[in-house]
Amino acid sequence: MYIKQRTIAGKISFKGFGLYYTEKKITVTINPAPIHTGFLFIRTDLKNKPCIKVNVSSLLEIEKNLVLKKNNIKIYTTEHIIAAINGMNLDNIIIELNNMEVPILDGSSKFFVEEIEKVGIIEQNAERKYFFIKDFLSIKNKKTGGEIITSPSKELEIITIIDFESNNIETQNALFKKENQFKKIANSKIFCVIQKHKKNCFYSLSNEIAKHFLLDIIGILALVNVKLKGRIIIYNPDKSIIKKLLNNLTEKIRISKINKIKYVEKQTIFDTKSIMNILPHKFPFLLVDKIIDLSKNHITGVKNVTINEYFFTGHFPNEPVMPGVLQIEAIAQVGGILILSQFRNPELYSTYLIKIDKVKFLKKIVPGDIIILQVHLLNWMKRGFLYMKGYGYVNEKTVVEAEIMAKIVKK
């Protein structure tokens, strides 16, 4: 028996004003969404109604509020509405917004939760995926004293501990362990710290601060785009350690997906001959042996590295290492297959590399290695421009990663 994905039974609308960026009245509508949608924002006030998916790639800022960005489109103050849909254990939601900021309402998630309960929650005919935290991890910020500790647990358990070292407010903590606890957390309101004459003055219910940090964290953790199981303890959270936690979880989730791919046993989608019908590359510059997984926005390929590779004769022949530029080329070729396979006549088009960014070479690739190459389509822009993120894995460890911009051109 598996746990099914969930969405709401009908749409919900709210009207209110922003807190930071707009004085206009804003309308936000929470809609049911199909399976595997995740959480998605749509700016209905802009031409073509651009979408922003709630994930780490969309994260712009988490300091005074959670800001999401895609291209030049931004959405501000999203943490309370995302916390509501994540805390209520939903999987697929589309949020329509007619401005740049989610209305603040009473500064909590209370009204979102109440309306979700009224409209009802339904199960969908698809299995929910979980990621289990298996490692003990400590992330510290020596400057602020903040720390995050993760450890294994059969359920999701989040603990926030707040200690401002102030006479105005005592050390406090808050716990989220079960779904029915979330309603009490959802009622906690936003607070502010006013600095005057170098003294901190707190304007909030003193027992709500740890709860509200916890509320925000529940929203922020939705950015990993999968339901979590594990224990997360957060002491005096700050944006630096929270971002490190998100990046750590995101990378481990990617690797866990790689571990599930049995590339030896899995049916081949494209063999070498089929790949040469899609790509213009031929031996000795074809750097992909087969494709084993393919969807509209994601692809997985395999490259078997052997001592017979032509480049080993001149690239450190006494200690053969696959050149970094060819690792990037292999990622780009897999990305090219992802895009060109969606055309009716792929042989009529070419994919040209325009830009590479955020490149990391994390481990040597040597003869005998089998590289699993994963590429994710981040954005398909106008005039044939594409933005992709690629990873290479050997023995379940990341060896290379890069962001790539390419352009599709008709021959």
Active site residues: 315
Dump the DSSP string for 314-331. Answer: TSSTTS----HHHHHHHH
Dump the DSSP string for 42-77. Answer: EETTSTT--EEESSGGGEEE-SSS-EEEETTEEEB-
Class of residue 1 by CB neighbours under 10 A (exposed 0-12, middle 13-18, buried 19+)? exposed
* Cα–Cα–Cα angle for 308, 312, 315, rounded to 5 degrees: 175
Q: How far apart are CA 331 and CA 170, in angstroms?
A: 52
Other C-beta atoms within 10 Å of 240: how many? 16
Residues comprising the chain, all counted: 411
Other C-beta atoms within 10 Å of 295: how many? 11
Q: How far apart are CA 109 and CA 78, in angstroms?
A: 11
Other C-beta atoms within 10 Å of 181: how many? 14
Other C-beta atoms within 10 Å of 236: how many? 19
Place of tokens 């931004």: 74
Helices (H), 239-368: 239-259, 272-278, 324-340
Place of tokens 């981040």: 378
Phi first, then psi, for residue 224 (nearest 5°) are -75, -10
- Helix axis angle, 209-220 relative to 79-87, nearest 10°? 80
